[in-house]
Amino acid sequence: MQSLFALKKYFLRYKSKLAFGILFILLSNFGQVYIPIILKNTIDELQQKVTIELIIQNVLLIVGTALISGIFRFFIRQTIIVISREIEYDVRQDFWEHIQKLPLRFFQNNSTGNIMAHATNDISAVRMFVGPSVMYAIDTVTKFSIVLAIMFTISPILTGFTLVPLPFISILVYILSKKIHKKYNAIQEKFSEITTVAQENFSGIRVVKSYVREEYEIEKWKISSREYFEKNLEKVKLQAMFQPVLYLTAGLSTIIVVWIGGGMAIEGTITLGEILAFVVYLGLLIWPMIAFGWVANMVQQASASMKRIQKILNEKYEISDSGLTDYSITNIAGDIEFRNVSFRFKADLPLVLNNISLKIPHGATAAFVGSTGVGKTSLINLIPRLYDTTSGEVLIDGLDVRNIPLNVLRENIGLVPQEAFLFSDTLENNLAYGGKKIPLEKISDISKLSKEVASFPLGFQTVLGERGITLSGGQKQRSALARALAIDPKILILDDSFSAIDTHTEEEILIKLKEFMKDRTSIIISHRISTVKDADIIFVLEDGKIAEEGKHNELVELNGIYAELHNKQLLEEELKELN
Amino acid sequence: MADQHKDDEILGKAYDSKLMKRLLEYIKPYKKYVALAIILNILVAALGPVRPYLVHIAIDESIVQKDYNTLLNITLLLLLSLIFQAVVQFFLTYYTEYMGQKIVYDLRVKLFSHVQKLALKFFDKTPVGRTVTRVTNDVESLNEMFSSGIVTVFSDVFTIIWIFIFMFYMSWDLSLVTLAVLPVLIYATFLFRRKVREAYRDTRFHLARLNSYMQEHVTGMNITQIFSKEKEELNKFSGINNDHKIANIKSIFYYAIFFPGVELLSSIAIALIIWYGGGKYLENTMTLGILFAFIQYTEMFFRPIRDLSEKYNILQSAMASSERIFKLMDDDTFVKNVDNPNTINNVNGRIDFKNVWFAYNDDNYVLKDIDFSIDPGQTAAIVGATGAGKTSLINILTRFYDIQKGSILLDGMDISKLDKRELRKHISIVLQDVYLFSGTVKSNISLGSKDISDEDIINAAKVVGADKFISSLPNGYNEEVKEKGATLSVGQKQLISFARALAYNPQILILDEATSSIDTETEIIIQNAIEKLLKGRTSIVIAHRLSTIQNADKIIVMHKGEVREIGTHQELLTKKGIYYKLYQLQYKDQEITKTA
């Protein structure tokens, strides 16, 4: 419950609309409640054989009242339910603004699916609370009190008897829908279980077929489908109870009116019109009583959801500008230095980088080689502060990166990550994602994209991704390179960015890059010797440490890890040429 | 925009007689029960409408006549009908839902069994996620149609019919006056449904856009952060979030009009009853009881009509799902057996490839004129660079795919004339990527086969040297395998798959050695395991280990889809051909580490 108090600030934003909404609920309820009074009067007047004109007057009054009440009902939804959508928007907006600033670590610890579940399901649950729950709660309370007052003035005794079954509706709805919700969750669990069985079977189909286990797998599927079927039946049983229980309690009230009210009418202590009013009032009360039980459940679910949302909203930014930040820095030159840098992902995990020190002067090209998992990517991620070091410091132009404003730092570093991720947007918007300081023509020339762009009917306006064309792995990597060049970077980092590009094209790109990178710092991670051989300095990483460093020729002569890598790739080339 | 809508919501007709006919096939086994359910439905539908009629009698024949006994009798009748209705309704709902669930279960099993029989080609070209959706979600939306859809349509229709019967029985002219609102109600309902459906599609479209934006940008969050575009992205997000909000607020409008509108209509119906009925009462041709009953009926027939219109959507999505389901059911990508396949009981294990040509599609041959033979009990090592065609060789030997030209013989018998499942029973395959299923270590070795006893499992594990680590697990052989074996090391997973192959004790073994490097200790265990595995049976090994090749009876060197060299390790080395180069590239290091 308490977590829902966090919604107070959102409600306050719409307080006048909310106030009107509540007012409309009251007004429309007065109208709805007035109609049975007219009905009662009409029946009683009919028995006294009044003129048809008087009856027509009543008829018009009914229609008029219903019309006014209906108009207010319209405005209730237009205020309160609309507010729920407004607040949903606000909460989601705050949620997004927050997670955008969370460090990479957060996204590695939380799956995309998980984050999506909060942004969709949990926010929906909160919306259901804000809208329908609030509306029905207020509606029920006000309607119930007005109707109760009127019924009481007609006949306290009959009111007493007929009201007995009503609270049971709320209680039963509450209990049943809570149980159904629980069963529903159990069903979802079973459903994801059968999904897993199917998933595993289809993914492992080679094993299944090799060992001729199809029958066994079908049997397995039957068992879990059967369990799912049975779980569903448990819910069905409760759901089948729902309606009968409702009319049983509601119908009981009506029968009590006919029986006790009828008896009173025979005695003459109540009129037929009053009995009719009772019957109609009961009809008016049933839905609010149902809604009440439902609302009680909704509140519980919403508060659980709100708690989950708040947990994310309370996640710390970790990497952001701080007291150390010197805002007078507006540019960087590109000298890079690592001073005794160590890094681990979590306190209880082993070190990925172990006491690394190195220097890359601005304008130089540095390359990193080493087998997978050796810490190359972690190392370069420290430069634009995607992670901060565990100990030691990364310096740019002699300054700790933590002194440089985060946006200044990142706007000057062009990073081309291992996975060339592009957005489903136009090619132009993707290439100019970080800015368009260098003309599109130039960056696509360097990245060897010009030919493709010319071949697309829409050129740079071609839409990529699901709703557009799918680029090949190589095209994606070249686009990602162009995107990084477009920001006119002082430091360019290529994290194994050419793996899907053929060696010939790669060579062409490297030649053009050399020209472009003249006064800029380049850092290249690659598995290919051909990519790194011309670098000013090559670092060979092993076990989180620098094992070898130097120029290509020096390293080949050293006859160590690098030399071995070099020989293998020569052989591979030879084999490929062979026909 | 309009086009994108179509992409998001591919919904066909709500009713397609061809599809319906096929669906009804699944109901057939239950047709007696369905008939019973419908009959019960007709009866129970009368119990609600009978009560206002009884109230009318209570008023006209007891309260107005001041007859207390009749009142008591009618009260009892009312109570009986209420309890009876509640009880029967409960069982009826439960019972029909049960049937629906059962039918869906049948369909789910049938569909899955069908997919099991499809050829590997189907799985190679269809994303796993799509097939999973067919057997789970799509079947699920049929569930909704069977249970809540069809059943309530019957009960709603019968309820309306009974209400009309009672109304017309009491007073036909008052009925006609009251029902004057009916055309308006029906028109309003269908107009509302149409508008809401449009609005719903619109909201769905914007929701899909919002979700795909979030999905994409959570995945690409590092790009946003690297280029420090948080502000710009937040603006874009606001736009999409706002469109979603506006689309929803628009749809609120229709609800805000419709629900109060229906209430107004019901008040108008009551007003009509009072006006016309009141007039007749004053002329003494109408009783107060009938007025009472009619007022109650107005509230009764509004709900079923509203419900009925909702069923349209359920039917529509069920039709779309069943179309997809039947499409899968009709897929016949099978590797077909010949009629009356030959049987073999005792396999010696001689394998001959005779001028075999194979392509996955068209004339794009990945294997060209492959010709070699392996004697019973021999081990042949297949070596070659990536893309040389080694995996395809396995695919055709087990008949995961059939070849285009040439023939493959097992003990001199053409394997295309054999039952493919029987063929596979004689061959065990150990794949490079070990696939473990959820379950226990034990069930992953036996794969649920009843022919393999616990003793066999433990023996197999002992022989390959897996027993030691399995026994040290907290639950030993009954240890749960989680997340495809994420808690086990690469080497351990391999040993389990070796044990699996051994437990099946095949005459022919195909081993696709894993390339991934493992620590020396495990390496020694695995080398021993492989030796034991190959002993005494015909084996084909896609080799990555020097030790394996050196022990092989013959080495078959593949290059670009062809067999280029055949011979023993020493023979091929002296030849200084492709094998020599491969040796330098892939195997030589192992020699160094071994001697070191």
Q: How many CB atoms lie within 10 A of CB B113?
A: 15
Residues of A in contact with B48 (CB under 8 A): 247
Residue A426 CA, chain-centre distance (Å), reads 24
pLDDT in tens, B238-264: 999 999 999 999 989 998 999 899 889
Residue type, B269: A
Residue of B558, B559, B557 whose CA lies nearest to B568: B557
Q: Which of B48, B105, B222 sits opposite A225 (nearest CB)?
A: B105
Q: How many angstroms from the chain centroid is the CA of residue A313?
A: 13
Task: Give A370 to chain B, closest Cα distance, Å.
Answer: 15
For residue A329, the one-letter residue type is I
- The count of other CB atoms within 10 Å of the CB of residue A472 is 11
- B567 forms beta bridges with B555
pLDDT confidence of B363, banded at 50, 70, 90?
A: confident
Contact A100/B230, CB-based, under 8 Å? yes
Q: How far apart are CA B97 and CA A421, in angstroms?
A: 47
| Per-residue pLDDT reduced to its tens digit, A166-194 | 888 889 889 988 898 899 889 888 888 88
In the predicted structure, residue B9 carries a pLDDT above the cut 60:
no
For residues A250-278, average pLDDT: 91
Dump pLDDT digits (tens) for B201-223: 888 889 888 988 898 888 888 88
The mean pLDDT value of chain A amounts to 89
Residues of A with Cβ-Cβ distance to B62 under 8 angstroms? 262, 266
The pair of structure tokens assigned to A203 is 């993914």
Element containing residue A365 per DSSP (H, E): strand A365-369
Chain position carrying tokens 């994409």: B216
Token pair in block for residue A267: 């005695």
Are residues A211 and B447, on separate chains, in Cβ contact within 8 Å?
Answer: yes
CB pairs under 8 A between A and B: 345
Q: What is the pLDDT of residue B149?
A: 64
Residue B426's region, left for phi above 0, alpha for psi from -120 to 50, else beta, is alpha
Q: How many CB atoms lie within 10 A of CB A470?
A: 9
DSSP B415: G
End-to-end CA separation in angstroms for chain B: 68
Q: What is the pLDDT of residue B516?
A: 57
Cβ atoms A526, A369 nearer than 8 A: yes
Domains B13-171+309-334 and B433-505 share a fold: no
Interface test with A, best of B44, B65, B103, B228 (most A CBs within 10 A): B228
Q: For residue range B305-353, what is the model confidence (pLDDT) as tens digits? A: 777 777 777 777 788 888 889 999 998 888 888 888 888 778 888 999 9
SS3 of A444-473: the string is HHHCCCHHHHHHCCCHHHCEECCCCECCCH
- Predicted pLDDT of residue A466: 66
Contacts B435 to A, Cβ<8 Å: 203-204, 206-207
Is B78's CB within 8 Å of A213's CB?
Answer: no
Nearest CB to A574: which of B59, B225, B581?
B581
Q: Which residues of B touch A60 (CB under 8 A)?
A: 271
> Which residue in chain B is spatially nearest to A419 when comparing CA positions?
B220
CATH number at B433-505: 3.40.50.300
Q: What are phi and psi of A213, to 5 degrees?
A: -105, 20
Q: How confident is the model at residue A443 (pLDDT cuts 50, 70, 90)?
A: very high
Contact A255 B82 (CB under 8 A): yes
Instruction: Please check whether residue A536 is in contact with residue A551, taking contact to mean a CB–CB distance below 8 angstroms.
Output: yes
Which structure tokens are listed for A391?
């100990």
Among A234, A253, A20, residue whose Cα is nearest residue A147: A253
The C-alpha atoms of residue A178 and residue A182 are separated, in whole angstroms, by 6
Could you say which of B72, B227, B449 has the minimum Cβ distance to residue A487? B227
**Does A30 score more than 80 pLDDT?**
yes
Residue A49 region by backbone torsions, left for phi larger than 0, else alpha for psi between -120 and 50, else beta: left
Instruction: Look at residue A559 and give its three-state secondary structure.
Output: coil
Q: Is the pLDDT of residue B543 over 90?
A: no
8 Å CB contact between A482 and A431: yes
The span from the CA of B529 to the CA of B493, in Å, is: 13
Rounded CA separation A214/B115 (Å): 10
Contact assessment for residue A456 and residue A469, using Cβ atoms and an 8 Å cutoff: yes
* Mean pLDDT of all residues in B19-28: 85
C-alpha dist (Å) from residue B297 to A412, B78, B292: 75, 16, 9
Three-state DSSP class for B496?
A: helix
Amino acid B197: pLDDT: 82
Here the tokens at position B288 are: 């107060």
Q: Count other Cβ atoms within 10 Å, centred on residue A42.
A: 25
- DSSP assignments along B260-319, one per residue: HHHHHHHHHHHHHIIIIIHHHHHTTSS-HHHHHHHHHHHHHHHHHHHHHHHHHHHHHHHH
Residue A210 makes CB contacts below 8 A (sequence gap 6+) with B398, B424, B427, B428, B429, B431
How far apart are the C-alpha atoms of B156 and A135, rounded to whole Å?
Answer: 29
CATH 3.40.50.300 is right for the domain spanning B349-426+507-516+540-596 = yes
pLDDT tens-digit map of B390-421 = 888 888 998 888 899 999 999 989 998 988 88
**Superfamily of domain B13-171+309-334, CATH level 4:** ABC transporter type 1, transmembrane domain (1.20.1560.10)
Tokens at B596, concatenated: 């070191």
What residues does B563 pair with on adjacent strands?
B558
Can you point out the beta strands (E) in B384-474?
405-410, 413-414, 427-430, 439-440
pLDDT at B4: 34
3-state SS string for A364-384: CEEEEECCCCCCHHHHHHCCC
Domain boundaries, chain B: 13-171+309-334, 172-285, 349-426+507-516+540-596, 433-505
pLDDT of the residue at B517: 56
Q: Lowest mean pLDDT: which of A495-504, B146-155, B286-295?
A: B146-155
- Cβ atoms of B507 and B460 within 8 Å: the answer is no
Q: At what angle are helices B230-272 and B288-329 packed, to 10 degrees?
A: 140
pLDDT in tens, A408-417: 999 999 999 8
Q: What is the mean pLDDT of chain B?
A: 86
Structure tokens that stand for A154 in this block: 């007609």
